[in-house]
Amino acid sequence: MDTMDEWFCDEESTLGYDEACINLRTNDKDSNAWLYLLSADCALKMMISLQCPYTRTKQIVSNLSSSVIVDTVRSTSFRILDAEDPNEFISAKNTSDVICELTPNLGQYGVYELSVQNRSCNIKTLNTPTYPYTELLVIFGVLILVLFGLSGLKSLWNVFKKKCVKRQLDDTTAMKQPSKRRVKAIDTVRGASTLLMIFVNDGSGGYRILGHATWNGLLPGDLLFPCFIWIMGVCIPIAMAGQMKRMLPKHMIFYGIVKRSILMFLIGLSLNTVSTGPQLETIRIFGVLQRFGITYFIVALIYLCLMTRKPKKTQSPMLKEVQDFLLLLPQWCVMLVIVAVHCFITFCLKVPGCPTGYLGPGGLHDDAKYFDCVGGAAGYIDRMILKESHLHHSATVYKSGPYDPEGILGTLTTTFQVFLGLHAGIIMMTYKDWKERVIRWLTWAAFFSCIGCILHFTNIIPVNKKLWSLSFVFVTTSFSLAFLSACYLLVDVIKVWNGGPFRIPGMNGLLLYVGHMVCYQNFPFHWSIGNMDSRALRLCEAIWGLGLWTIIAYIMHRKRIYITL
């Protein structure tokens, strides 16, 4: 078997993207070699000693052609064992009967040969892998050029209108007071979060690296939901200030808060039935919009109850520098109590069969010692109150039971994150100079980033979106503050960017999110050709759907239609 053509998996057409083929070979007739695999995705960062066990994959038989297909998104460790009747799973700590162990650098569409001879292993490349990001760079490069071209055409049209169209202003128009200018950066951040959430929910064009981390850690997709819900917090004091200015009674404001919260929860509950059906015994209770509704209710209600209609202006220069914090001092005290309650439950609640303070994914992790402990206290509370049939079900590399990433306990830390957004909104309302706003936003961003990184890298509280851990709140809030600062400088201060194509969709963010959830399988928003085993096709399909929702947002803006609760 000297040529590639004799192998089972030797042609690129037999592989999908993010896959490599390993041809297995041994000339030792007396060997009982077995191939075991372990994905790096099944090992928590900084907790390698607590990784999953190796999984038995295939026996390597002398003079018999065989192969195995391996995922290339994450690195995979190979272990060859010499055993007559091996177990399905072997602990990574158990090195008995190991012939060899290696972690090769594999690429998509690559074909490799793994040879086992004389109790040693060798892997060589038979077919060179391809670069996985070619389609992404090309398609997004073209997209950016198109957007720049459209922006240039719009600028030329505006210049043409100024020169050729005479504007006649009557006396009444000249006497009008200039209206208060809307901060466009807020809509830009909301729109970017919404559109990119849609892109990630549609599969990120086949690029899983742009999606979500399996458990601990942070990938680009993990930044979007927290940024979306954080910007909701920014808008709370701005909207409430307008209501107070109109002399709206507090009980009417309270009624509006309750109404919006209930509507968001019910819409989210309805969206959960789009793909699974309205079976009451198994309907998922919590979700994205449900978390929006609950956290909005808590934060807005606390702010309403503890706010003062006419805050006192301090004369002290030192106190003026922290006036935003002083205005929210009572709310901060309540929020710190909420965070303390979350930490106490997470690290002190005794979960049957699980170590106290467990933050792992359960299942096969840590050699399956805590198989039914997925999510620790957070998962236990959801299973006890909501029951497993009403939780989010998805297959994971850990093979653990159902766990809801938008469950009950994580709502507490999400509430804190929405409040941090509210504080950013208070900064915008308290300080009118753009420098004072940006300096405070970036200062808080640096502060939160330091706390989050310390908690994560010391392994006290790892960054984890599924748990919505405290370190995750700090790190993603830091990103949101920095992103808002950048958009504010570019869109509202320097005015070198008008926020497109994100700003207009941001004015109808809720409608776009709900619409894409309802139409997730409907043409023309989605389509398929064959088995869609091409990144170029998947990217085009994802961008097509994203483009349609963007066009809908622009049409609605043109008609002055804005859907809010």
Token code pair at residue 30: 């007396």
* Residue 269 DSSP code: H
Q: How do beta strands 19-26 and 111-117 pair?
A: parallel
Which residue spans within 155-282 are E strands per DSSP? none
Q: How far apart are CA 135 and CA 157, in angstroms?
A: 33
Catalytic residue among 212, 342, 456, 516: 212
Which conformational region is residue 512 in: left (phi greater than 0), alpha (psi within -120 to 50 degrees), or beta?
alpha
- Cα distances (angstroms) measured from residue 248 to each of 240, 254, 347, 376, 398: 9, 10, 43, 45, 52
Q: Is the peptide bond before 178 cis (omega within 30 degrees of 0)?
A: no
3-state secondary structure of 55: strand
Q: Element (H or E) spanning 430, and its range?
A: helix 410-430
413, amino acid identity = T
d(CA 226, CA 197): 11
- Residues 71, 73: Cα–Cα separation, whole Å: 6
Instruction: Tell me which residue of 47, 50, 43, 40 sits closest to 366, measured CA to CA.
Output: 50
The residues near 404 (Cβ < 8 Å, ≥ 6 apart) are 284, 286, 382, 386, 391, 392
For residues 494 and 556, what is the distance between their CA atoms, to the nearest angstrom? 27
Q: In angstroms, what is the C-alpha Rg of the chain?
A: 28
CA distances from 256 to 99, 243, 267, 269 (A): 68, 10, 16, 20
Asked if residues 26 and 115 have their Cβ atoms less than 8 Å apart, the reply is yes
**Tokens at 241, concatenated:** 């200030």
Q: 3-class secondary structure for 127-173?
A: ECCCCCCHHHHHHHHHHHHHHHHHHHHHHHHHHHHHHHCCCCCCHHH
For strand 66-71 and strand 19-26, is the pairing parallel, antiparallel, or unpaired? Answer: antiparallel
Cβ neighbours for 482, distance < 8 A, ≥ 6 positions apart: 441, 442, 445
Please say whether the beta carbons of 487 and 177 come within 8 A. Answer: no
* Residue whose entry in the numeric block shows the structure tokens 């504007």: 167
Place of tokens 């742009």: 210
Helix (H, G, I), strand (E, B) or coil at 35: strand
List all residues 6 or more positions away from 449 whose beta carbon is below 8 Å from its beta carbon. Answer: 474, 475, 478
Catalytic: 212?
A: yes
Q: Which residues are catalytic?
A: 212
